[in-house]
Structure 1
Amino acid sequence: MGSAILNSIAPEEPKVVVPEYGETADIQDKEVSMEQLCSISTYDQWTPLSVSGQLPKPRYKHGAVVIQQKMYVFGGNHNGRYLGDIQVLDFKTLSWSKLEAKSQAEPSESAGAVPFSACAGHSVIQWGNKILCLAGHTREPAESLSVKEFDPQTCTWSTLRTYGRSPSSRGGQSVTLVGDTLVVFGGEGHGRSLLNDLHILDLETMTWDEFETTGTPPSPRSEHAAACFAERYLLIFGGGSHSTCFSDLHLLDTQTMEWSRPKQQGVTPESRAGHAGVTIGEYWFITGGGNSRKGVSDTLVLNLSTYEWSVLTNLEARAPPVSEGSSLVMHTINGENFLVSFGGYSGRYSNQAYALKASLKPSVPSQQINESDTNGFSPLSVAENSSRKVIFEIEELKDEKSLRLKQELTGLENRNAELTEELHLVQDQLSIEQTRASKFENEISDIQQRLQKMDTLEKEIESLRYELDSTVSEEESSSGNELHRSRGFWRWNG
């Protein structure tokens, strides 16, 4: 995506030169600090971040998580090569740095060994002040799924010991924190086999369990998105198989272990795989991904209480936040929620970071006013100020609703253009088929005419044979003795 479009999203931001990996980003006009995120004034629009430090190598299908105002990025894929590095974006300074991690020394390991193998399609989960890393595609896949723990304070890796039957190794799965458990679903295993099995790891006992479920589970898939709601419900959205992408939504009640299909409302989401999701309260934000036809350009929001979909914003199809395999995290500054997207693939590999300030705000309790604290203001003036505040809030809601309607209208217009293009393609194919059918009809008519001529020829031949037989019979009757001596050509009389 060109820089002109990105600058139109946030014209107040300084220009950023984003080079290939191995170089340093040049920042103009102001010192980079955490205030840059706070300075984003527009809600629900993706804004490129001005960053400093050595940029990470472009990648997709990596993992990312936020701990103590830092985003940790693990591994990924670049040009078919698995990465094993750890990159950190400090939200205080918006600067990149690379961590050199070591392993927690064990008798069978050297102190300098790094157990985090280069991988892609893995899952990283925050657990307290530690980071858990599970599954993923590697150059030398193991038979079973292992659980590794990274301590940001000491920059050390360790492999956790688990009990029970571990799931088979895989990549592109979802790993979701539900209470004190990790729920692993689906993914792509050995031999590109697609999975829809469910495994639960109890983080208190570190024991794996494979539960029996009722209802109809999602079909086998990978590169889907998963979320937890009310520390009880697991939601699975989208994903893909080897032949198609999905747009379905599935719900698992982890107390009854029953699968169901919630009744969805609002806009109908496009099928997608390779997307990313993050929850803020009862809202689930989905961005990125694509299907067999294109990259998906909308950022969606699902109300987890009503299962109503809405479009938060639209971007051009090749914009990095639309990329397949990008990461998405949430960071809160001064009560404002920011989504941060990094990396991905949209025709080329990206190493850019983008931020979006979500307009969903927590409810603020009404302010109580005591007569002794009015500082000379009468109750009437307070009421007038409250009325003005209500009017301003109503106007703000109208503006937000108008913006939402415009965004939905834009989405519908884009969808209409796509359907019109598909209709033209179908009409062209129909015209081709009609031409072929007309050609076949002409060939059939020609064959039928030839068959009629053949019937006529056969009748003429039969007539000639009859006449010949009659002539021969007359000759036989008139000169029988001579025919007995010479033996005829057409008949054999013995």
Structure 2
Amino acid sequence: MYKRKSLVATEHRAAASMDPEFETHRSELVARERSGHTAVVEDNLLYVWGGYVSIADDEVFLPSDEIWVYDLQQGVWRVFHMTGDVPPSMSGSCGCSLNGTMYIFGGCDENRQTNELYCVNLTDGKYRWRKMAHETGSAPSPRDKFSCWVYKGRLIYFGGYGHKLLTDVDSRNRSFIVDEAAWVEDVFWGWNNEVHIFDPRQEGWSEPKTHGRAPAPRAAHACATAGHRGYVCGGRVMETRTTDIHCLDLETWTWSEIHPVSSAPVGRSWHTLTAVSDSTLFLFGGLSLDCKPMSDGWLLDVETKTWREVEHPYKDKPRLWHTACPGKDSDVIVFGGSCDYILLVDTGHCNDALVFQMQPYPLFRICEDFIAKNMRSHEMLRNQFPFLPPKLLAAVKKRTSFYRTSKKQKPT
């Protein structure tokens, strides 16, 4: 079922393996295009791991022993070599960050879907993987294309597409729907709507007893955490794609469905949903019901239950199976993904970082950007630059690098 292969080397990997802090000239080093990867933002740095790319007629996994880091303030990429219990190269894994640590669970490697959990500290500069064993409970069954909420120091996983043994499939339990087109002897593939919790402090798995009507089993959906609630939007539900919205109260474990009172986005899968406040969620991209790559952006107010389509500068950049991370000042950082229907024409993988501004910037950031962008063309700014307050001076120096770099590359 899985035809993807692992990529043995990239253009920069040989040098990176010799020097853990290897980087080339900023105008030369750019993360490779990819889809089905993992990305998180910590301290204004975008960390990108895994995924796959198309080479000739093959779908090839990207190396799992390297992590790409993009400085959102300077516009500079770096790549670091990773050591330790390096996970297999995968796509469709679920990644998240908690207290400066990135966690990777599940995904699909060369042969199968997995249910292993790995973590790596992003703050110590060592980038050493650790495979996590669980002291209590049982790990979820192998799966990919699922999602995660982070709440009160715990990782809460939902849904996905994966396989179970025949002995683990209960026809009376609608939490797992068998894909009739995919089974081998006593192994069945299908979609699920299960909720599993991993507590990193206890290193244990558990399954909460949920109440209310759960969403239908699905994969390639989108999730976001806002306040004490986890939201699920759309995805593939058997043979269709939808944009229904469900909410799980992470205190009471009660499901509810949000029925919008306004026009809503068309059904889709492989899109993203990002919280920009405790009551507002941003949806971007995905694959529509008629298999069209999408570039529309929508805001959902969960209090008023209204969708609103938003204008943005990336209407010509459709994306699916990309990542979206909350950034500074409520920005949303979209990276990678495909601009084609990847099940038919798997060639349009991307490697640009798109920054969506979701609210007016604070005065400090407005000043920082204005000075950095215009200093070269304004003599007065150049003359007054050394007299800026130390904090603003340091920020402007970094931001100046971003605008200098962006002029050498295609704008994103």
Which category of TM-score, normalised to the shorter sequence, fits these structures?
0.5 to 0.7
Structure 2: how far apart are the matches of 1:361 and 1:316?
19
CA-atom RMSD, angstroms?
A: 2.3
Q: Could you tell me which runs of 5 or more consecutive residues in structure 2 were left unpaired when the two chains were aligned.
A: 1-9, 13-25, 164-187, 341-347, 363-412
Partner of 1:141: 112
TM-score (norm 1): 0.57
Point out the structure with the larger strand share.
2
Partner of 2:337: 344
Check whether the contact 1:70–1:91 (CA below 8 A) recurs between aligned residues: yes
- The Cα shift of 1:142 comes to 6.2
Partner of 1:151: 121
Structure 2: how far apart are the matches of 1:315 and 1:247?
23
| 1:261 counterpart letter in structure 2 | E
The one-character-per-residue Cα deviations of 1:15-35 (angstroms, maximum 9, x if unpaired) are: xxxxxx959xxxxxxxxxxxx
4+ residue segments displaced more than 6 Å: none
- The Cα shift of 1:273 comes to 0.6
Q: 2:232 aligned with 1:236, yes or no? A: yes
- The Cα shift of 1:315 comes to 6.9
Partner of 1:284: 281
- The Cα shift of 1:141 comes to 3.3
Structure 2: how far apart are the matches of 1:304 and 1:287?
16
| 1:266 counterpart letter in structure 2 | S
TM-score (norm 2): 0.68
Check whether the contact 1:59–1:343 (CA below 8 A) recurs between aligned residues: yes
Check whether the contact 2:33–2:349 (CA below 8 A) recurs between aligned residues: yes
Check whether the contact 2:98–2:153 (CA below 8 A) recurs between aligned residues: no
Partner of 1:305: 303
Partner of 2:203: 206
Q: 2:191 aligned with 1:194, yes or no? A: yes
Within 5 Å, give how 1:242-261 maps onto structure 2: 242-261=238-257
Check whether the contact 1:297–1:315 (CA below 8 A) recurs between aligned residues: no
Check whether the contact 1:223–1:239 (CA below 8 A) recurs between aligned residues: yes
Structure 1: how far apart are the matches of 2:360 and 2:205?
37
Partner of 1:227: 224
- The Cα shift of 1:316 comes to 7.5
* Larger gyration radius, structure 1 or structure 2: 1
Partner of 1:82: 61
Partner of 1:451: none
The one-character-per-residue Cα deviations of 1:86-113 (angstroms, maximum 9, x if unpaired) are: 211122321112110001xxxxxxxxxx
Structure 1: how far apart are the matches of 2:270 and 2:103?
21
Assess, with a 3 A threshold, how the Cα gap between structure 1 residues 292 and 253 changes in structure 2: closer, same or farther.
same
Instruction: Report % sequence identity.
Output: 24
Q: 2:40 aligned with 1:65, yes or no? A: yes
Partner of 2:153: 180
Structure 2: how far apart are the matches of 1:192 and 1:324?
23
Check whether the contact 1:22–1:56 (CA below 8 A) recurs between aligned residues: no
Check whether the contact 2:39–2:324 (CA below 8 A) recurs between aligned residues: yes
Check whether the contact 2:267–2:289 (CA below 8 A) recurs between aligned residues: no
Structure 2: how far apart are the matches of 1:156 and 1:263?
44
Structure 2: how far apart are the matches of 1:360 and 1:316?
18
The one-character-per-residue Cα deviations of 1:269-303 (angstroms, maximum 9, x if unpaired) are: 21111011221222211111012421223111112
Structure 1: how far apart are the matches of 2:192 and 2:313?
32
Bigger relative contact order, structure 1 or 2 (CA pairs below 8 A, ≥6 apart): 2
